[in-house]
Amino acid sequence: MAVQTRMAENFAKMQEFSADGKGITRLAFSDEDWQARTFIISLLKQAGLTIRIDDFGNIIGRRQGKNPAAPAVLCGSHIDSVPHGGNFDGVLGVLGAIEAVNLMNENNFKNYNPIDIVVFMCEESSRFGTATLGSKAACGKLTVRDMKQYKDTDNKSLYDILHSRGIEPDKRNKVIDLKNLKACIEMHIEQGKVLENIHKPIGIVTGIAAPTRIKLELRGKADHSGATPMTMRNDALCAAAEIILSVENIALTSLQPVVGTVGIANVSPNVMNVIPGEVELGIDIRSIYAQVKTNTVSTVKKAIEKISQKRKIQVSLHTLADEQPVTLDDYVINSIENVCREDNIAYNKMPSGAGHDMMHLAEHAPTGMIFIPCRDGISHNAAEWADMKDILRGTDVLYKTLCSLSAADSSIN
């Protein structure tokens, strides 16, 4: 079967695993996620890989090398989505990695180092409010206590949901040997407009921005909207509005690259004729520079304190995640760059503004990422789209990079 046909069929099949028809809704550990997971496992087996599952449900398919004891080359991504998202975020990296192995099989490539194709569970923060949980678990950064504390909107804990899927996190079954990794790599859509605007089909990622995520609860006083004078109100929503605009302004006026977003605003009682008494905000602040992010978070917290005091609003602030930005490895970057040069493919070295599972693996092994363009830079949206010609080109770059990284004569100095 031609590569294009196989890839097109696999993307079409993945599109079926969604909770509704508005884009892709495939929350982590949902029925849709589990159906997609079963399909991906079948593709890994068809590619001749040996399947292992760790204590978080992460899937690892191994292509054994000439030297089974040699450090492994790891490649993969995720398959869960945000609500009403697209069919390429994460899925591209998984299907691309599987197709790279298919190409190895067809071209009779013999890897010296073992190659592990990994599907990380729960990369998106949509269900539990914090992201990249599968890679955190694989890297020993997620405790059973954390799993019991993280809960979804139905108040179900991550720990209980894992058990409901037959996964036992207490057993601490670590399948990825962090001390025996040669390199890690992931292919992903850019989720931005740079590659499309500069007309370059490949992005070579130099670093990954990291988020600080804050859950903010504001408590004022719910009163009658008609009977309460304007000067006697403790309107939690008005305080929230000021805070939302402050987050935007602080990030907008920063002299160094940082972004700030308030993506959640839950209002109670949320009726027309009652002054809002409680508001919950979800704040996301990101930068590729750790100190810039730290300073921005500090400034936002001071703004929250000032606004809440002025409006006499009680505040409860909880940091859901505080990740560190990472610089990716020159060895892997150069390996990708060499492939592009040999094939005369235009590329751009660039940072990633979005977080990825590879940011955690980068602490343990030389790590890199390949970007391909997505139409209009749209992602986390039903309109997310990547052209097949870009998918095939990116997959070929990934395949050749994996061959280079797993070859007997490749070494990391």
- The sign of the dihedral angle between the CA atoms of 393, 394, 395, 396 is positive
Domain boundary among 322, 348, 383: 322
Asked whether residue 186 falls in the same domain as residue 230, the answer is no
Q: How many CA atoms lie within 13 A of 136 on its CB side?
A: 20
Please indicate, yes or no, if residue 361 is contained in any of the structural domains.
yes
Asked whether residue 360 falls in the same domain as residue 214, the answer is no
Please indicate, yes or no, if residue 350 is contained in any of the structural domains.
yes
For every residue of 41-72, which 3-state class applies, written as one string? HHHHHHCCCEEEECCCCCEEEEECCCCCCCCE
Asked whether residue 163 falls in the same domain as residue 83, the answer is yes
Beta bridge partners of 181: 72
Segments forming the whole domain that contains residue 231 = 210-322
- The alpha carbon torsion through 217, 223, 226, 232 (nearest 10 deg) reads -80
Check which CATH number belongs to the domain holding 127 and give it.
3.40.630.10
Check which CATH number belongs to the domain holding 281 and give it.
3.30.70.360
Task: Say whether 406 sits in a helix, a strand or coil.
Answer: coil
What's the token pair of residue 360? Answer: 């955690």
Distance, CA of 408 to CA of 383 (rounded, Å): 42
Asked whether residue 125 falls in the same domain as residue 8, the answer is yes
Asked whether residue 330 falls in the same domain as residue 317, the answer is no
Helix, strand, coil percentages (3-state) for the chain, rounded to 5, are 40, 25, 40
CA 409 from centroid of its chain's CA atoms: 33
- The label of the residue with tokens 């990369």 reads 123
Asked whether residue 155 falls in the same domain as residue 82, the answer is yes
Backbone angles phi, psi at 143, to 5 degrees: -95, 165
Distance, CA of 83 to CA of 80 (rounded, Å): 10
Q: What does each of the 413 residues of the chain score in pLDDT, given as a tens digit?
A: 689 999 999 999 999 999 988 899 999 999 999 999 999 999 999 999 999 999 999 999 999 999 999 999 999 999 999 999 999 999 999 999 999 999 999 999 999 999 999 999 999 999 998 899 999 999 999 999 999 999 999 999 999 999 999 999 998 778 899 999 999 999 999 999 999 999 999 999 999 998 999 999 999 999 999 999 999 999 999 999 999 999 999 999 999 999 999 999 999 999 999 999 999 999 999 999 999 999 999 999 999 999 999 999 999 999 998 988 999 999 999 999 999 999 999 999 999 998 899 999 999 999 999 999 999 999 999 999 999 999 999 999 999 999 999 997 655 55
- What total number of domains does the chain contain? 2
Q: What is the pLDDT of residues 47-75, one digit of tens each?
A: 999 999 999 999 999 999 999 999 999 99
Asked whether residue 286 falls in the same domain as residue 195, the answer is no
Please indicate, yes or no, if residue 411 is contained in any of the structural domains.
no
Q: In 10 A of CB 3, how many CB atoms? A: 16
Q: How many CA atoms lie within 13 A of 220 on its CB side?
A: 27
Task: Say whether 213 sits in a helix, a strand or coil.
Answer: strand
pTM: 0.85
Please indicate, yes or no, if residue 413 is contained in any of the structural domains.
no
Asked whether residue 297 falls in the same domain as residue 254, the answer is yes
How far from each other are the two terminal CA atoms of the chain, in whole angstroms?
39
Backbone angles phi, psi at 47, to 5 degrees: -80, 0
Distance, CA of 291 to CA of 210 (rounded, Å): 11
Asked whether residue 205 falls in the same domain as residue 222, the answer is no
Please indicate, yes or no, if residue 412 is contained in any of the structural domains.
no
Domain boundary among 298, 322, 346: 322
CB 307 within 8 A of CB 220: no
User: 347-352 and 202-208: which strand pairing?
Assistant: parallel
Please indicate, yes or no, if residue 241 is contained in any of the structural domains.
yes
Distance, CA of 405 to CA of 75 (rounded, Å): 11
Instruction: Specify the DSSP element, H or E, that contains 170.
Output: none
With 0-12 / 13-18 / 19 or more C-beta atoms within 10 angstroms meaning exposed / middle / buried, residue 255 is: exposed
Distance, CA of 309 to CA of 318 (rounded, Å): 18
Asked whether residue 187 falls in the same domain as residue 76, the answer is yes
Asked whether residue 307 falls in the same domain as residue 384, the answer is no
- The alpha carbon torsion through 186, 188, 194, 197 (nearest 10 deg) reads 130
CB 305 within 8 A of CB 315: yes
Backbone angles phi, psi at 197, to 5 degrees: -70, -30
CA distances from 188 to 17, 191, 205, 323, 395 (A): 20, 8, 10, 20, 10
Asked whether residue 158 falls in the same domain as residue 283, the answer is no
Domain boundary among 322, 357, 376: 322
